């Protein structure tokens, strides 16, 4: 089974405003509330692709109920730990530019935190866990490291999509995939990423430190895949961007779904790009048909 873990889910409140005047009253043209949080997005796309998945993490309050109900309606399996505090609401302001205002996240007690660890103790070597997104400040500083240890002790495999020290500390445990975008890669190495040579150099370092596969995603400019057998550049299909929130998560879902079936990283990379782009061209996350219709437009070549 492919499990996803979202420590800090959200309702994504997508607000379209033609022009934003700070300090004035602005009227929305339209708005949309969607279940959010990176792992939840990954599971929604896996489910869309027909791949069995279960989504885990912490949900609470009326906001948590909204997400739980949405997933039930969509048929996405979940087993969340119920917390006392409310799940956060993240604002995605769409105007001439996309502006995001993300909440810090709810209070999570030690007892609630322990219950997720106990869930992961039941994993087996046939399982893969995708750990995605930020960690609410209430959780212990080394919580991600604790999760990685439990997953490895259970002989399961994992993917991690987070930033900074939590990502770095997980690399020696050989995640199947890490997928920083260019900004996250720069932050990881406290370096400027100004050229393709910089992307290639720092991407290779992630492999050297321990990742099995690395994708550096570059939005409309495509992505680079680093494997132990070569490096590949994938071009993003062209289209009209409607809402790029979740494009990165969709890419992880596409890659993982295909890789777990065929063990072919190039085929997986192609489905990853098609899934990411299909989501960027949709209001919500992509639908299966949109992903498959983009798949034959994705070009990948060795570099
Ligand atoms: N403007 C776009 N046009 C075409 N494809 C896109 C666009 N934006 C994203 N994608 C697709 O989605 C993939 C992941 O996007 P991106 O690099 O923005 O990830 P990310 O920064 O993790 O995204 P997010 O945080 O918005 O989920 C890209 O490699 C590409 O395939
Ligand atoms: O605060 P985090 O966990 O880093 O990011 C959360 C988030 O921005 O990521 C998803 C898109 O990738 C959204 O659904 C959600 O609002």
Cβ–ligand 1 distance for 300 under 6 Å, the answer no
Judgement on whether residues 185 and 296 belong to the same structural domain of the protein: yes
Strands laid side by side in the 230-235 sheet: 214-217, 223-227, 230-235, 299-302
Q: Which atom of ligand 1 is nearest to the CA of 222?
A: 29
Q: 139, 162, 185 — which closes off a domain?
A: 162
Examine residue 172 and state whether it is found in any structural domain, yes or no: no
Judgement on whether residues 129 and 182 belong to the same structural domain of the protein: no
Judgement on whether residues 122 and 222 belong to the same structural domain of the protein: no
User: What would you measure as the largest C-alpha separation in the chain, in angstroms?
Assistant: 56
Examine residue 42 and state whether it is found in any structural domain, yes or no: yes
Q: Which atom of ligand 2 is nearest to the CA of 6?
A: 3
Cβ–ligand 1 distance for 234 under 6 Å, the answer no
Judgement on whether residues 111 and 202 belong to the same structural domain of the protein: no
What's the domain range around 4? 1-20+29-162
Judgement on whether residues 207 and 136 belong to the same structural domain of the protein: no
Nearest alpha-carbon partner for 159 in 169, 143, 174: 174
Judgement on whether residues 188 and 292 belong to the same structural domain of the protein: yes
Examine residue 83 and state whether it is found in any structural domain, yes or no: yes
Residue identifier of the C-alpha nearest atom 5 of ligand 2 = 133
Q: 129, 162, 195 — which closes off a domain?
A: 162
CATH number of the domain enclosing 154: 3.40.1190.20
Judgement on whether residues 277 and 142 belong to the same structural domain of the protein: no
Examine residue 167 and state whether it is found in any structural domain, yes or no: no
Examine residue 150 and state whether it is found in any structural domain, yes or no: yes
What is residue 204's predicted lDDT score, i.e. its pLDDT? 97
The total number of structural domains that make up the chain: 2
Examine residue 169 and state whether it is found in any structural domain, yes or no: no
Q: ipTM strictly over 0.90?
A: yes
What pTM, to 2 d.p., does this model score? 0.97
What is residue 243's predicted lDDT score, i.e. its pLDDT? 86
Q: What is the mean pLDDT of the chain?
A: 97
Judgement on whether residues 92 and 139 belong to the same structural domain of the protein: yes
Judgement on whether residues 47 and 87 belong to the same structural domain of the protein: yes
User: Please, which residues have CB within 8 angstroms of residue 211's CB and are 6 or more apart in sequence?
Assistant: 171, 174, 175, 177, 178, 226
Judgement on whether residues 212 and 71 belong to the same structural domain of the protein: no
Cβ–ligand 1 distance for 276 under 6 Å, the answer yes
Residue 115 β-bridge partners: none
Judgement on whether residues 126 and 266 belong to the same structural domain of the protein: no
Judgement on whether residues 142 and 246 belong to the same structural domain of the protein: no
Tell me if residue 20 falls in helix, strand or coil.
coil
Each of the 303 residues of the chain gets a pLDDT tens digit; together they read 999 999 999 999 999 999 999 999 999 999 999 999 999 999 999 999 999 999 999 999 999 999 999 999 999 999 999 999 999 999 999 999 889 999 999 999 999 999 999 999 999 999 999 999 999 999 999 999 999 999 999 999 999 999 999 999 999 999 999 999 999 999 999 999 999 999 999 999 999 999 999 999 999 999 999 999 999 999 999 999 998 899 999 999 999 999 999 999 999 999 999 999 999 999 899 999 999 999 999 999 999
Annotated catalytic residue 249: yes
């Amino acid at each position: 089974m492919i499990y996803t873990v979202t420590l800090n889910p959200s309702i994504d409140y997508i607000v379209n405003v033609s022009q934003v005047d700070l300090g004035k009253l602005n009227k929305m043209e339209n708005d949309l509330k969607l279940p959010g949080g990176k792992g939840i997005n990954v599971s929604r796309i896996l489910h869309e692709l027909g791949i069995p998945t279960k989504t885990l993490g912490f949900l609470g309050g009326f906001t948590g109920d909204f997400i739980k109900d949405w997933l039930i309606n969509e048929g996405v399996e979940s087993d969340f730990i119920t917390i006392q505090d409310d799940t956060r609401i993240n604002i995605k302001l769409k105007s001439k530019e996309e502006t995001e205002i993300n909440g810090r996240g709810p209070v999570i007690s030690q007892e609630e935190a322990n219950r997720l660890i106990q869930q992961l103790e039941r994993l087996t070597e046939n399982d893969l866990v995708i750990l995605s997104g930020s960690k609410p400040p209430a959780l212990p500083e080394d919580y991600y490291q604790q999760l990685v240890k439990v997953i490895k002790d259970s002989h399961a495999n994992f993917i991690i999509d987070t930033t900074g020290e939590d990502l770095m500390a997980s690399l020696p445990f050989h995640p199947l995939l890490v997928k920083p975008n260019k900004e996250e890669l720069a932050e990881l190495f406290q370096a400027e990423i100004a050229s393709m040579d910089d992307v290639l150099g720092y991407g290779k370092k992630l492999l050297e430190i321990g990742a099995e596969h690395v994708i550096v995603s570059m939005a409309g400019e495509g992505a680079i895949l680093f494997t132990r057998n070569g490096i590949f550049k994938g071009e993003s299909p062209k289209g009209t961007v409607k809402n790029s929130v979740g494009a990165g998560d969709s890419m992880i879902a596409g890659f993982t779904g295909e890789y777990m079936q065929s063990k072919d990283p190039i085929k997986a990379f192609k489905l990853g790009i098609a899934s990411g782009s299909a989501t960027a061209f949709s209001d919500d996350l992509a639908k299966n048909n949109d992903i498959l219709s983009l798949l034959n437009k994705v070009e990948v070549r060795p570099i």
